[in-house]
Structure 1
Amino acid sequence: MGGDKTIVAVVGLCVILGMSVAEGYRNYTVGDDFGWSENPKLDYQTWAANYTFSLGDFLIFNTDNNHSVVQTYNSTIYKLCDDADAADNDTIEWSSADPSSTAPHPVSVPVQLRKVGTTYFFSGDYDGEQCRSGQRMMINVTYGQGLPWSPDDSPAPVGAQSGDDAAPETIVPYNFDHPRDIGDDDDENVASNSVVFWPCFAAHLNLLLLFVVGFLFYF
């Protein structure tokens, strides 16, 4: 009888630890090694179709200051490739572009997914020309495990606010003239899209402690 109880306890512990590994928020590098640019080799809608996005996940836009990152929930804004008449509650420009820049510099823009349903992204630079050339995508955000308890639990830094011309603090080396072959750096892609464990670590730790206390009390 005691042996059966031990087996049950071990199985329960394995389930809890398995949950800790399985759950977590993810970071997705948009376009993988090609980044966020006007690239005829990449269809962003096809790229997005390969993934399931959930609340709390981050999209990482590796781009430069000649491209913008606009997020909208408004399908009309998306179809027009123009956020000039967008409302504050449905459209955010996470990173604005500087068309006059003669020396583009690389930036990385993290955007957390915080609303269930359809979300649109595009680059609105050059009066929407980049968007119309294919720098756009529509994704569906599922509930998943819900949002982190607070913004402080988020797995990535916050990008530039709407209307802020300053580059986000996170800067990464990037060169759109010499994109890397996606197949050459699979390990880097795995790291970029890896599971982020910390947002749910505390919850699982509490669950594990409750299990241990119950186990000790039971035996």
Structure 2
Amino acid sequence: MDQSKVLMVVLFFMVSLNINGRGGVAGYKNYTVGDDLGWFDKLEKPTVNYQKWASSKTFSLGDFLVFNTDNNHTVVQTYNSTIYNLCDDSNALDNDTFQYASPDPSASIVHPVSVAVPLLKVGPTYFFSSDYDGEQCENGQRFSINVTYGQGLPPSLRTPPPGAPGPVGQQSGDDTVPETTVPANFDHPKDISDDGDDESDDGKKKKSMATIIGCSRWVFSWSLILVGLLYTCL
């Protein structure tokens, strides 16, 4: 075989191994809804297009959507397409629709609000703002996504920790600053192996297997390099 062809084959296998073995399984992700535009309707931000924003992304269990908005907007998550299409959650059931932001249209001062919503269920999921009788939803503050299984839920999301913030009720509060549900040190994206629960026997087995696979790839890579060098010298 031509020596240049051998070297090309070796390099191809090395690149393939690096791509497939880099970092193991990808970590969970945060998505800031609307990026720099935040979570508002077209009356405030005429250029928002949340469905277009969502269409370029892949969402999986354990990911978070971060909504940066204010107390004149709501964050409603529903699995009910009828609720979503009507822009009206007044007839929603407790187990299919959740309101995460506490609106107060009568507040004399507008306060910033940030809300982190975990994706906990596979399949279609819908988000919209129900404020002003659905007017904000009708003016573009809405989008739907499809949640894939991905890595599955991390242990930290399978059972909510004690005292964890949850969806707020349908009634809003007063002029006080709404309490954010995003910790100041929010750094959710991580691999399952970063979670404390993975120190169980199953977690240790996974780590041992990952180490074995990593070593095998390393040995195989260097074997290919040595074969290429031998052909070059011959």
The reply to whether TM is greater than 0.5 is yes
1:45 aligns with 2:57: no
Task: Tell me if structure 1 keeps the 8 A contact 2:116–2:181.
Answer: no
Q: 2:129 and 2:78 mapped to 1: Cα distance?
A: 11
Q: CA RMSD in A?
A: 3.4
Counterpart selection for 2:32 from 29, 34, 40 = 29
Distance 1:19 1:212, change over 3 A: closer
Q: 2:27 and 2:97 mapped to 1: Cα distance?
A: 27
Question: Secondary structure at 1:126's aligned position in 2?
Answer: coil
Question: Secondary structure at 1:131's aligned position in 2?
Answer: helix
The letter for the 1-side match of 2:22 is G
Question: Secondary structure at 2:134's aligned position in 1?
Answer: helix
Q: Which structure 1 segments of 5+ residues have no match?
A: 1-12, 173-191
Task: Tell me if structure 2 keeps the 8 A contact 1:153–1:199.
Answer: no
Counterpart selection for 1:196 from 182, 185, 189 = 189
Structure 1 length as normaliser, TM-score?
Answer: 0.71
Counterpart selection for 1:168 from 180, 191, 198 = 180
Identity %: 51
Describe how 1:1-219 pairs up with structure 2 within 5 A.
18-20=22-24, 22-38=25-41, 39-151=45-157, 159-163=165-169, 165=172, 166-170=178-182, 196-201=189-194, 203=198, 207-209=206-208
The letter for the 2-side match of 1:207 is K
Task: Provide Cα deviations, 1:27-79, integer angstroms capped at 9, x if missing partner.
Answer: 00000000101121111000000100000000000011100000001111001
Q: Which has the higher contact order (CA 8 A, sep 6+)?
A: 1
Deviates more, 1:52-61 or 1:142-151: 142-151
Q: 1:52 and 1:158 mapped to 2: Cα distance?
A: 26
- Rg: which structure is higher? 2
Question: Secondary structure at 1:47's aligned position in 2?
Answer: helix
Task: Provide Cα deviations, 1:108-157, integer angstroms capped at 9, x if missing partner.
Answer: 10000011110000000000000000000010101111111232899xx9
The letter for the 2-side match of 1:81 is C
Bigger strand share:
1
Structure 2 length as normaliser, TM-score?
Answer: 0.66
Distance 1:32 1:153, change over 3 A: farther
Q: 1:117 and 1:213 mapped to 2: Cα distance?
A: 35
The letter for the 2-side match of 1:201 is D
Task: Tell me if structure 2 keeps the 8 A contact 1:24–1:195.
Answer: no
Question: Secondary structure at 2:31's aligned position in 1?
Answer: strand
Question: What displacement does 1:16 show?
Answer: 9.4
Q: Which structure 2 segments of 5+ residues have no match?
A: 1-16, 173-177, 216-234
